[in-house]
Structure 1
Amino acid sequence: MMGRLDSGQDKLFYSFNLDNHVPQSHLLRGIDRFLDLRDLRRHLAPFYSPMGRPSIDPELMIRMLIVGYCFGIRSERRLCEEVHLNLAYRWFCRLGLEDAVPEHSTFSKNRHGRFRDSDLLRHVFESVLSRCMAEGLVKGEGFAIDASIIKADASPARGVPGTEPIDWGRADGQSRAVREYLEALEQANPVAADTSEPASSSAPPKKISLTDPAARWTAAPGGPAFFAYSTNYLIDLQAGIIVDVEATPANRSQEVESTRTMIDRVQHQRDLKPRRLVGDTAYGTAALLGWMVEEKQIEPHVSVWDKTERKDNTFSRSEFIWDEEANEYRCPAGNALRCDWRPLKNPRTHITKADTIVYRSSEKNCNRCSIKNQCCPNMSFRKITRSIHEAARDEARRIAATPEYKQSRRQRKKVEMLFAHLKRILKLDRLRLRGPSGAHDEFLMAATAQNLRRMAKWLTPEGKQANQAAT
């Protein structure tokens, strides 16, 4: 007999248990098992008034943000709608069927106020990292470093040439991103803070966004240029856990400099210092290699940034032999290249502003040399520039010839996979918050979500079964 939908009188009482309607294999169950926010209220207590109306529970907002970043829900307005409709999301956020979902504007008010003042998102990231370490997912033996470019919420059409003076207008009419940019300029150069031009000793950027001035004008190979930030990940190689994250403009020198910041911070806060650090050629600069080897005693599993190889069929620097005791090079013909050819009453270091020492051959020796055309055909003598960190560069070259280096190169793919997951699964290929603080918040929340997902999929029985089925 064909059934019929009962359209009779509504029931007076319902028995409904939300927990029974969330599958045991749901990702949020695994995440909830490892998410501990009990310390949240104590961390935020100094930023709330003891009087007045009760506010929205900050734990509820953090849980909602975690849902949004874990499932690629980029809009906070849509996030509120999804939490309102989805039973699993309500269960994770500790909301009953009749509990109201906060307005989307609540997130903006708290983010620009208490959350940033207390650096709450960094606190949440660190608490999740502590759980990762407690579960044995962080070994601390090897770290990998890399950066990925993320588009800023800034239209290329709203950009002006970097050499053009900009009138940023009155302070009360400026956007939050512009005020943040100008405050950073004032801290970097207080004397020039009142001018309408960016105060910097370096070359001005090619283009500046009027919407988000701190974003950097950049372009991927073969693609159009855009304004962007870089998310910098420092991961532990055992399980691919993100141990630190830093937001920088999309600039290679700032990306490389963030390596020092993250390694120092992890060492200070977690007492973790890796035995080896894995990175691509961008991290093979002489200064960074010197810092790793000489100051931190970290093995650099990094390709050396070397532009000394010549392509004009003349001798490259690698064909000159270094004599440490004599402090000189020997050319293929056996002649010396020195930084001092005569004794000086006041000895000099000969170190240039680029932290290098220039070694020159004797013009007399070069003029009578039979292979001069293969060495310096267009100059009267040959010179070689040697970094003061050349010993660290030699150490990196030595490591590059070992089997351990080949293994490190394979393990470095773990951080690249995290960036692919960040953009394709979490949908963070474009920021929706502006300014360095906005990038800082988004990158921290995304890294927190990735660590939580990793624990849920590695440590829960359901996650282990799924991983075994996938392999």
Structure 2
Amino acid sequence: MYMKKNRINQRQIKFLCLEDLVPDNHILRDIDRAIDFSFIYEEVKGLYSEIEWGKPGIDPVSLFKIVFIQYLFGIRSMRQTIKEIEVNMAYRWFIGYDIGETIPHFSTFGKNYARRFKDTDVFKRIFTQILAEAIRCGFVDASAGFIDGSQIKASANKKKATNEIVEKQAKQYQQQLDEEIAKDREAHGKKALKNDDDNTPNPPETKNIKKSTTDPESGLFHKGEHEKCFAYVANTACDRHNFILDFEVGAGNIHDSRMFDGLYGKLIRQFPEIQVIAVDAGYKTPWIMKQIIDSNRIPAVPYKRPMTKSGFFKKHEYVYDEYNDCILCPANQVLPYSTTNREGYQEFKSNPDYCKDCKFLNQCTQSKAQQKVVTRHVWESYMELAEDYRHTPMYREIYQMRSQTIERVFADAKERHGMRYTQLRGLQKVKMQVTLTFACMNFKKLATWKRRKGLLAPIFPGYLKEKSQIICSWFQFITKGTLRFA
């Protein structure tokens, strides 16, 4: 038999405090016990005025905890976050506000960002502090690093754009590559490339891009089956346990391999114990493989499908003879060295007199001159070494862990923490969003692991003793007859 609920009990007065309304197993309780957020006072020191005047300001810890709630629970905007805090007792308790206390206006953080936090590294320092706590507890296993990139859809209409001609950015390793090319040409008895011998700079190369009029700092992203859109990209590194170690944020039209250098440099400085770097096929380039191997680390990479037309010989079927410095084609003909071009590729060319009568000509080349040209990068030996590591069972297993590590990080960030898109505009604000999102993901995992290991701080020290004293005082007050209820 059902029972009709009497709602009159909702109007009765009960003696409760906010602490009683938060469940003991709530994630915010674990987070509050796992991390002492008082370090934020030191991080924002100097960003606030030392002179007391006007209306009292908001506690910086409470202000940042409001933002943490937004990114921790994937709430779409600060306006909605304030609405949620107003009715959620756990949220109120976490930011340190009482039941009847007025929650700050949703524009408060935006004003503080514009006046205090803009162009500072306070958000990155908070991220670093949380990661340092995870390292101190021994939760971070950086013996292997997993690197990948993910797009963040920008708040920009792809139809509102202009076509612009911009200069191509020079490769960060261009000087090293030029030196390697010069050595290779000299070793083969070739002259220096034009403009290299007289130190005359080459004219800058240009390209045509689409630039958003809504968010000019975003970039047009298009990859595979993805729809074209203006976006940002976050290149991220994590450890074996999915703790985010570091990241780089850039426009969506910047390739992952171009953002690798900055991220990798910071990563090995902070975590010199890294032995293996697992990356996907987008990072499998001669420069990146050289960079990893030269730093005495092992690249864990996948098989990269040859970009060859169907029905034609694959590149691996043309064998390089290191002793004679030539290429042997499938018809056992020799392709001697010809030159080394500006891109750093050695060119080996066949003899057209042999090729025109070859039975494999239609599987080899469609050149009108009936000449096959095979290229080999001056750093190709690093690619070959990376391919050898790929066949090693240990490194193959590490690469396969990407689906449980870095790919899981992006999945959680997008599905649970609102990083699939951004409502902010401008690179600096998007960096702030990514930093706070990854910081929240790290301290959420830190709190969970501390609870499992029994490392959480005691619940509200002194609270239980104080509560029992209050109850006893009220009991004595009532039993003496001082207080009577009708």
**Matched residue count:** 412
CA distance in 1, matches of 2:429, 2:95: 24
Consecutive unaligned residues in structure 2, runs of 5 or more:
170-203, 456-486
CA distance in 1, matches of 2:250, 2:7: 62
Identity among equivalent pairs (%): 25
Q: 2:119 aligns with which of 117, 120, 125?
A: 117
> Does structure 1 residue 227 correspond to structure 2 residue 230?
yes
Residue in structure 2 matched with residue 352 of structure 1 by the alignment = 341
Residue in structure 2 matched with residue 195 of structure 1 by the alignment = none
Residues 4 and 407 of structure 1: CA distance in aligned 2, closer, same or farther (over 3 Å): closer
Letter in 1 for 2:393: P
Residues 415 and 6 of structure 1: CA distance in aligned 2, closer, same or farther (over 3 Å): closer
Residue in structure 2 matched with residue 131 of structure 1 by the alignment = 133
Deviations 1:175-233 (A, max 9, x none): xxxxxxxxx9xxxxxxxxxxxxxxx844222x321110121223465564321111222
After superposition, where does 1:384-403 map in structure 2 within 5 Å?
384-403=374-393
CA distance in 2, matches of 1:16, 1:4: 19
Residue in structure 2 matched with residue 257 of structure 1 by the alignment = 258
The alpha carbon displacement at 1:306 in A equals: 6.0
CA distance in 2, matches of 1:7, 1:452: 36
Residue in structure 1 matched with residue 334 of structure 2 by the alignment = 336
CA distance in 1, matches of 2:160, 2:428: 20
SS in structure 2 of the partner of residue 203 of structure 1: strand
The alpha carbon displacement at 1:456 in A equals: 2.5
> Does structure 1 residue 281 correspond to structure 2 residue 281?
yes
CA distance in 2, matches of 1:377, 1:426: 51
After superposition, where does 1:184-199 map in structure 2 within 5 Å?
none
Deviations 1:287-331 (A, max 9, x none): 21222123x222111136564545333x33312222223322233
> Does structure 1 residue 406 correspond to structure 2 residue 400?
no
The alpha carbon displacement at 1:386 in A equals: 0.6
The alpha carbon displacement at 1:453 in A equals: 1.8
The alpha carbon displacement at 1:393 in A equals: 0.7
SS in structure 1 of the partner of residue 207 of structure 2: coil
SS in structure 2 of the partner of residue 453 of structure 1: helix
SS in structure 2 of the partner of residue 338 of structure 1: strand
Residues 120 and 377 of structure 1: CA distance in aligned 2, closer, same or farther (over 3 Å): closer
After superposition, where does 1:63-142 map in structure 2 within 5 Å?
63-142=65-144
Q: 1:456 aligns with which of 422, 438, 447?
A: 447
CA distance in 1, matches of 2:326, 2:231: 45
After superposition, where does 1:419-434 map in structure 2 within 5 Å?
419-434=410-425
SS in structure 2 of the partner of residue 460 of structure 1: helix
Residues 290 and 310 of structure 1: CA distance in aligned 2, closer, same or farther (over 3 Å): farther
| The 10-residue stretch of structure 1 (35-44 or 70-79) with the greater mean CA deviation from structure 2 | 35-44
| The 10-residue stretch of structure 1 (438-447 or 55-64) with the greater mean CA deviation from structure 2 | 55-64
Q: Could you tell me whether the CA contact under 8 Å between 2:300 and 2:396 is conserved in 1?
A: no
Residues 120 and 4 of structure 1: CA distance in aligned 2, closer, same or farther (over 3 Å): closer
Provide the TM-score with structure 1 as the length reference: 0.79
CA distance in 1, matches of 2:232, 2:37: 29
> Does structure 1 residue 210 correspond to structure 2 residue 213?
yes
CA distance in 2, matches of 1:436, 1:319: 45
CA distance in 2, matches of 1:298, 1:18: 52
Q: Could you tell me whether the CA contact under 8 Å between 2:281 and 2:302 is conserved in 1?
A: yes
CA distance in 2, matches of 1:150, 1:32: 29
Give the root-mean-square deviation of aligned CA atoms.
3.1
CA distance in 2, matches of 1:58, 1:423: 27
After superposition, where does 1:39-78 map in structure 2 within 5 Å?
39-53=39-53, 54-78=56-80
Residues 130 and 202 of structure 1: CA distance in aligned 2, closer, same or farther (over 3 Å): farther
Q: 2:316 aligns with which of 315, 318, 341?
A: 318
CA distance in 2, matches of 1:434, 1:4: 47
CA distance in 2, matches of 1:375, 1:209: 43
SS in structure 2 of the partner of residue 47 of structure 1: coil
Residue in structure 2 matched with residue 300 of structure 1 by the alignment = 299
CA distance in 2, matches of 1:240, 1:4: 47
SS in structure 1 of the partner of residue 98 of structure 2: coil
Q: 2:437 aligns with which of 438, 442, 446?
A: 446
CA distance in 2, matches of 1:424, 1:288: 31
Deviations 1:371-417 (A, max 9, x none): 55554464343321111221111012112222224312331012212
Provide the TM-score with structure 2 as the length reference: 0.77
Question: Based on CA coordinates, which of the two structures has the bigger radius of gyration?
Answer: 2
CA distance in 2, matches of 1:259, 1:283: 8
Q: Could you tell me whether the CA contact under 8 Å between 2:306 and 2:315 is conserved in 1?
A: no
